[in-house]
Copies of this chain bind each other. A is one copy, B any other.
Amino acid sequence: MYSQSMYEKGASPSKIRDLFEYGNRRKAEIGADKVFDFSIGNPNVPAPPRVKEVMMELLENEDPVVLHGYTSAAGDPNVRQAICDYVNKTHGTTLTKDHFYMTCGAAASLEITLRALTEEGDEFLTFAPFFPEYRVFAESAGAGFQTVACDPQDFQPDLSELKAKLTPHTKGVIVNSPNNPSGAVISPQTAEKLSEVLRDKSAEYGHPIVLIADEPYRELVYDDVTVPYLMNYYDDTIVCYSYSKSLSLPGERIGYIAVSDRMKQEREVYLAICGAGRSLGYVCAPSMMQRVVAKCQGLTSDVSVYRENRDILSKALTEYGFRVVRPDGAFYLFVEAPEPDAEAFGEKAKEFELLLVPSDSFGLTGYVRISYCVSTEMIKNSLPAFKKLAQSYGLCE
C-alpha cells in the first residue's frame, strides 16, 4: 500500500533527531536548565534586524499579488540579479543571473542538483565525516554513494584515497566547507590539489566530474580563515547555497544553486536543474523570502556569539584533556571520543546530561559532534558536566 523505503525513511528519522527528542523528554523530567542539549544545528543567533525591517517594508509597500505571487520557476529575475552581482563582486566570478536557480534551501539545492546530474549507474562521492542526508538525497536521485576519508590531523580530504575511489561512474564529488560536523574549512592548497585530481580524472575518463560545493556555512568562519570559492579553482563546479545559517532563517527554506559559467554544457546542466526542480514539485522558492534575501546580500547574523561559544568550549575541553579538532567554521565542535566506541561515549555523556552526537551518524567512528549554536550561558553551565565526564575517563583530575 505504500513504499517500504519511504516508510523506513519516515519511521527512522536521523539519530540526531532521536537525541533531540530524548533531550526534550529529559528536560520535561528534570528541568530545561539541567539538560545540556548540543544535538541540533538550529541557529540560536537571531536573523539580522535588517531582515525584519525588509519584511515590514515589503509588506507595507509591495502589491501583495506580486509579493506573494508565483515567480518564474528559477526565481524572480531581479532577485537573481542582486545575488549574482554580490557573488561576482565578492568572488570575482563572471556569472549572469541565468546561472542562478533559487531553491527552498540547501537540502532542495542538493537534491535538485543530484537529480539533474544523475544518469543510470552514476555515483557521487563525499568526504567523511559528512552530513548524513547526503546519502538519502543520492539514493533518492537514483545514484550510488561512496565516501572518502579525511586526514584525522586537520580533516582535509584525503586525496590519495579520492584518486583510488574515483571511477568512470563518478558523476560528482560533494565538498562541504565549512564542514558539518567537523568545522573544518578546505584550505586553498587542498582546493587546488583536489581540482587537479578531478581535472586529471575527467580527462582520463573523457567526461567531466562535477564538483558540488555545499556551502551553507560559508559565512560562519572565525579568526582569519577564508573559504576558497571552488568555482574559481575548478570549472565544472555547482554551488549549493542556503541562507539558513548565514541569516538564521532555517525554517524559511531559501537558498540557491549557482552553475559555473565555465562549466561544460552549462546551459544544458542549468536546464536539467530546472527540470529536476519541476519534477520534484518545487514550483518556485518562497516568493517573499526571495525578495528578502536579495535585499540582505552581504549581511550575516552576529557570528561573534558563535565565536565566543567556540572559544569557551574548545579551551575548556582541551583543558579537561579532550582532543578537539581545530574548529575553523560552522558551529560544530568535533571532539575525539576517549574510548573507541563513540556511541558508548555518547551514552556516558548522557549520564552527565550532555547530549552529544556520536560521529557514526556522519560516517566516521571515534568522535562526537557538539553543536554550539546555543546560548553562551548554557555553554558556561555545561562546563562542570564536561569536566566530570573527562574525570570519569581519567583525562583530568
Spell out A's residues near B (CB within 8 Å): 1-11, 13, 40, 42-47, 51-52, 55-56, 59, 63-65, 67-71, 73, 104-105, 107-112, 115-119, 133, 136-137, 139-140, 207-208, 210, 248-253, 264-265, 268-289
Contact = CB atoms under 8 A, between A and B. Distances in A.
Given A10-B270, A108-B283, 8 more contacts: A2-B119, A13-B274, A42-B69, A51-B64, A71-B251, A108-B282, A252-B288, A280-B281
Given A2-B272, A269-B2, A274-B10, A63 B46 contact: yes
B268 A3 contact: no
Interface centre among A43, A68, A270, A287, by most chain B C-beta atoms within 10 angstroms, is A68
Given A115-B3, A119-B4, A276-B3, A73 B13 contact: yes
Contact of A104 (B11, B69, B104, B116): B104
A9 B275 contact: yes
Contacts of A44: 65
A5 B139 CA distance: 18
Nearest to A17: B73
Contacts of A117: 1-3
Contacts of A210: 1
A5 B275 contact: yes
Contacts of A252: 68, 286-288
Give 10 closest A-B pairs by Cβ, nearest first.
Answer: A251-B287, A10-B275, A9-B275, A111-B281, A10-B274, A10-B271, A6-B275, A2-B272, A107-B281, A140-B279
Contact of A11 (B73, B249, B275, B281): B275
A11 B51 contact: no
B70 A42 contact: yes
A45 to B, nearest CB: 8
Nearest to A58: B55
B253 A6 contact: no
Contacts of A46: 63-65
B248 A208 contact: no
Nearest to A69: B251
B10 A278 contact: yes
A55 B3 CA distance: 38
A25 to B, nearest CB: 15
Give the interface centre of A73, A111, A253, A289 by most chain B CB atoms within 10 Å.
A253
A248 B65 contact: yes
B52 A65 contact: no
5 contacts: A1-B268, A1-B269, A6-B273, A42-B69, A104-B283
B279 A6 contact: yes
Contact of A3 (B2, B3, B9, B118): B118
Given A2-B116, A47-B64, A208-B1, A278 B136 contact: yes
